[in-house]
């Protein structure tokens, strides 16, 4: 890059306030956090979060894959998301799709100024590689206004950084709330319902059959197929800045706004305080204020120790704390220990 080009780039970065503060709107872009699991099979059998936090899998096809948090990456990255095809799908029906999706709250996107005359460009960058050359599509999906903008990208057997800048969209503002307003989608498989039209890179539109590129590869065309992804960044402006690394602790806390799975519980006390016999109660504080009142569940085995048996019940669920209930009839001012299992709080988009 010439000196003049470097100065021009720096000027735009300054204009778009990309120096200082947090630039990367993506959470867990370096693939550090995997609270649910580090490896899952039969991926793409349905729509769900599988392994790495914040990466939602959308699947409507006969193909299947293994998804792992893998210790691989370009220089500066210790981990990546890896998909390995285990079941092919070479007869692609019109409505089929296979997508990796990152979802964003509308209130975290207001700096993009979408739907106004001052709307900003958005630049998405990421590192990818695969077992063989392929062409896939990366898309911004405006869920509030049903608008789409996608671009094709190439994958080779070497780690490469892909940079795609998306035009500003003056139509349709993002809602300023905690709902899902934007999906950042990686199309790995698509039927004609999504490829049947004439696709043009970097055009905002409302036509479903133009969402994936004309040269779209199917990830499920061979069980040799692999796909590796890391260093995902989305930022305001037309310049891709160096990846914004955050500490593991900060990244984990950001993820816990949407999903938290505790370590094995160690001696959490539940007590019967009321004036007569009944259930024991305790309060549990989440690590972060969650996006919404979470769906609560348990995992693992709660050991029969300290007077506690069974599984705790959840009562009075709030965004930052829940009540735990040890059902049964217990004497006044008696306690029991909750020990051994896990509590799970889910407020995903």
Residue 212 has pLDDT above 60, yes or no: yes
Position 261 scores a pLDDT of 98
Contacts of 51 (CB under 8 A, 6+ apart): 34, 36, 37, 38, 39, 40, 67, 68, 69, 81
Are residue 80 and residue 203 in the same domain, yes or no?
yes
Phi, psi of 130 (to 5 degrees): -155, 180
Residue 233 has pLDDT above 60, yes or no: yes
Are residue 265 and residue 321 in the same domain, yes or no?
yes
Are residue 189 and residue 333 in the same domain, yes or no?
no
Residue 121 has pLDDT above 50, yes or no: yes
Contacts of 2 (CB under 8 A, 6+ apart): none
The rounded Cα 347 to chain-centroid distance in angstroms is 12
Domain endpoint, select from 206, 233, 255 = 255
Domain endpoint, select from 190, 220, 255 = 255
Residue 23 has pLDDT above 80, yes or no: yes
CATH classification of the domain holding 251: 2.60.120.260
Are residue 278 and residue 236 in the same domain, yes or no?
no
Are residue 272 and residue 225 in the same domain, yes or no?
no
Q: How confident is the model at residue 4 (pLDDT cuts 50, 70, 90)?
A: low
Are residue 79 and residue 191 in the same domain, yes or no?
yes
Which structural domain range is residue 314 located in?
259-346
Tokens representing 323 are 């009540």
Are residue 132 and residue 275 in the same domain, yes or no?
no
CATH classification of the domain holding 334: 2.60.40
Is residue 68 classed as helix, strand or coil in its secondary structure? strand
Position 342 scores a pLDDT of 96
Is residue 83 classed as helix, strand or coil in its secondary structure? strand
Contacts of 237 (CB under 8 A, 6+ apart): 12, 13, 15, 16, 18, 120, 121, 122, 123
CA dihedral 101, 107, 110, 111 (to 10 degrees): -80
Are residue 140 and residue 47 in the same domain, yes or no?
yes
In this prediction, residues 104-124 reach a mean pLDDT of 98
Position 15 scores a pLDDT of 45
pLDDT digit string (tens) for 141-192? 999 999 999 999 999 999 999 999 999 999 999 999 999 999 999 999 999 9
Phi, psi of 248 (to 5 degrees): -60, -40
The Cα 343–Cα 262 span in angstroms is: 5
Q: Is the torsion defined by CA of 53, 58, 62, 63 positive or negative? A: negative
The Cα 211–Cα 209 span in angstroms is: 6
Query: Residues 347, 258: contact at Cβ < 8 Å?
Result: yes
Closest CA to 104 of 169, 183, 30, 47: 183
Tokens representing 307 are 């007077």
Average pLDDT across the chain, whole number: 93
Helix (H) or strand (E) holding 297: strand 295-299
Residues in the chain, how many? 349
Are residue 44 and residue 77 in the same domain, yes or no?
yes
Q: Where are the beta strands (DSSP E) in the chain?
A: 39-43, 48-49, 56-60, 64-70, 80-87, 97-105, 122-130, 134-142, 147-155, 160-166, 180-190, 226-236, 259-261, 268-271, 278-285, 295-299, 313-315, 321-330, 335-338, 342-346
Domain endpoint, select from 255, 290, 318 = 255
The rounded Cα 284 to chain-centroid distance in angstroms is 25
Are residue 205 and residue 327 in the same domain, yes or no?
no
Are residue 248 and residue 282 in the same domain, yes or no?
no
273 versus 186: the higher-pLDDT residue is 186
Residue written as token pair 């259930």? 279
Angle at alpha carbon of residue 191, lines to 185 and 192, rounded to 5°: 115
Tokens representing 86 are 């285990």
Are residue 239 and residue 269 in the same domain, yes or no?
no
Total number of domains constituting the chain: 2
């Amino acid at each position: 890059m010439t000196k003049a080009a470097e100065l021009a780039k720096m000027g735009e970065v300054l204009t778009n306030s990309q120096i200082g503060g947090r630039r990367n709107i993506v959470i867990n872009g370096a693939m550090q956090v995997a609270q649910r699991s580090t490896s899952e099979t039969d991926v793409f059998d349905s729509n769900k979060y599988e392994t790495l936090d914040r990466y939602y899998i959308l699947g409507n096809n006969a193909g299947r894959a293994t998804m792992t948090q893998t210790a691989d990456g370009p220089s500066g990255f210790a981990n990546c998301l890896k998909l390995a095809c285990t079941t092919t799908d070479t007869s692609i029906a019109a409505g089929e799709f296979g997508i990796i999706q990152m979802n964003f709250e509308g209130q975290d996107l207001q700096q993009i100024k979408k739907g106004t005359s001052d709307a900003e460009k958005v630049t998405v960058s990421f590192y990818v590689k695969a077992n063989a050359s392929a062409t896939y599509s990366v898309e911004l999906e405006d869920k509030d206004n049903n608008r789409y903008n996608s671009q094709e990208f190439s994958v080779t057997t070497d780690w490469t950084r892909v940079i795609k800048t998306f035009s500003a969209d003056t139509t349709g503002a993002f809602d300023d709330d905690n709902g899902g307003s934007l999906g950042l989608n990686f199309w790995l498989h698509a039927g004609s319902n999504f490829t049947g039209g004439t696709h043009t890179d970097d055009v905002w539109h409302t036509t479903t059959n133009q969402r994936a590129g004309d040269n779209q590869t199917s990830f499920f065309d061979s069980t040799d197929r692999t796909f590796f992804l890391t260093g995902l960044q989305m930022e305001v402006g037309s310049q891709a800045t160096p990846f914004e690394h955050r500490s593991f602790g900060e990244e984990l806390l950001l993820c816990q706004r949407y999903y938290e799975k505790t370590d094995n519980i160690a001696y959490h006390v539940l007590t019967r305080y009321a004036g007569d016999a009944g259930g024991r109660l305790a309060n549990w504080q989440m690590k972060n204020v969650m996006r919404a009142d979470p769906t609560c569940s348990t995992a693992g085995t709660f050991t029969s120790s300290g007077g506690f048996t069974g599984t705790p019940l959840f009562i009075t669920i709030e965004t930052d704390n829940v009540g735990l209930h040890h059902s049964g009839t217990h004497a006044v001012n008696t306690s029991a220990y909750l020990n051994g299992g896990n509590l799970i709080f889910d407020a995903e988009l």
